[in-house]
Amino acid sequence: MTQAFFAPCPRGLESALADELREIAVRPDVDALAPFDVHREVPGGVSFSGDMAAAYAVNLHSRIASRVLLRVAARGYRHEDDIYELARTQRWDQWFGPDETIKIELTAHRSPLRSLNFTALRVKDGVCDAMRERLGARPSVDTASPDVRIYAHLTEHDCTLYLDTTGEPLFKRGWRMEKGEAPLKENLAAGILRLAGWTPGKTSRPFYDPMCGSGTFLVEAAQVALGLAPGAARSFAFEWLKGINLKPWKALKSEAQAASQRAAAAAPADLAIAGSDISTDMLAMASANWQRAGLPGELRAKQVDARHVQPPFAEPGLLLLNPPYGERIAVRGQRRPAFDEAPVDSAEEAAANQFASAFATTLKQHFSGWEAWIFTGDLSLPRRLRLKESRRVPLYNGNIECRLFRFEMVKGGNRAQS
């Protein structure tokens, strides 16, 4: 039976996710066991369709999606009672029973309803009343660790109900134990890597993160290079839904695990992937995360101030970083005031500008031929660096507006050329 699905993702990564889903769809094992069609991109995600096994494949292989939602029903509405009736008339009992706990998540875009919290309660009432009418009992609510998550999305005129097939969000790969301070979520890091051109089959050049923190970019880059399925080491919500045929899932997971073993056996002793950081604590976290992710060998990492880094490989490659702020230059991921917004006598701004100038000098003097990408909440970073970006991509880290800047490093001159 063909089902409709929606894969949400961080804002700005919709096209990258659509490309990734198309690549997943043409994998031989997925095409044989869980075929699906990718449909349209909308702000916040991508829709696709297939039988239930399609959700297994995307949960297993997608690096960029936040989760996979099964569309249950949709209708127009004028007030909360319409949404209650939509929820009450669905056969929730075909997916779960009254002994399971539920949580309702509601999002809206231009909805005229005054209280989204009240609307979420009406969805919950509809689900519980539907179960009580059929089975004589209703599920309980657990907002912390529910068995089942139900999502409602409101537009100006329509409400769509979804059943979550993922459980814990997909950025939780199962390997991160050491987080450091405000790490990038893994799916955002994976999307940034794809935008920077680090995609399956295109990972032969060296990769370097000179401000690697707890190693998110490094681990994601290595797993892409080795072709490792990001969901192979975790469980998913669909495994506990009623009436599910798990044979395709077991086959997909078995193939992913076998592919991981083949990749590990064929991997070079040292991947051309390296990182550095000024903090020894961060480097210890990065190394621990590398090991927990099941990656071969030891992480190639070095303690060094980013203003004094040298290329770790003889050949130029891809340099990618998410500069931290505060003690290590504001907090990682927070938006720094724009260049023109800062007081000219601000000590913090002066320090940031001095650091940026020194780092830019290092890039120009030592990284000729490298392609440098910087993800930051500092929208005026190119001005601080006094470098001309060849590309800027608007992205969001949660609700924080950010940019991904590309710089083509050419030795000499005051500004890099594109």
Quick one: 39 and 104 in the same domain?
yes
Same domain, 203 and 346: yes
* Pair 364, 222 in one domain: yes
Q: What is the pTM of this model?
A: 0.93
**What length is written for the chain?**
418
Domain CATH for 86: 3.30.2130.30
**Residue-level pLDDT at 27:** 97
Q: In this model, does residue 351 exceed pLDDT 90?
A: no
Query: What percentage of residues in the chain have a pLDDT greater than 70?
Result: 92
Number of domains in the chain: 2
Residues 221 and 115 in one domain: no
The predicted structure's pLDDT at residue 180: 59
pLDDT on residue 344: 47
Would you state the structure tokens that stand for residue 116, as one six-digit string? 């989204």
Confidence grade of residue 46 (pLDDT, cut at 50, 70, 90) = very high
CB neighbours of 121 closer than 8 A, spacing ≥ 6? 104
Same domain, 79 and 215: no
Judgement on whether residues 216 and 295 belong to the same structural domain of the protein: yes
More confident position, 417 or 90: 90
Residue 29 included in any domain: yes
pLDDT at 315 over 60: yes
- Which domain, by its residues, includes 329? 186-227+268-408
Claim to verify: residue 215 and residue 74 sit in the same structural domain: no
Q: Are 309 and 210 in contact (CB under 8 A)?
A: yes
Assigned domain for 49 exists? yes
| Predicted confidence (pLDDT) per residue in 216-247, tens digit | 999 999 999 999 999 999 999 999 999 999 99
Is 150 found in the same domain as 8?
yes
Closest to 86 measured CA to CA, from 130, 56, 51: 130
Same domain flag for 69 and 191: no
The pLDDT of residue 183: 76
Return the CATH number at 400. 3.40.50.150
* In a domain? residue 254: no
- The predicted model gives 42-68 an average pLDDT of 98
Cβ atoms 300, 274 nearer than 8 A: yes
| Residue 119 and residue 219 share a domain | no
Q: CA-to-CA distance for 15 and 202, rounded, in angstroms?
A: 18
Does 342 map to a domain?
yes
Distance CA 36, CA 48 (A): 7
In a domain, 348, yes or no: yes
> In angstroms, rounded to a whole number, what is the distance separating the alpha carbons of residues 314 and 114?
60
Q: Can you name the residues that pair with 321 across neighbouring β-strands?
A: 374
Contact 110, 156 (CB under 8 A): yes
116 pLDDT band (50/70/90 cuts)?
very high
Specify whether 194 is located in the same domain as 304. Answer: yes
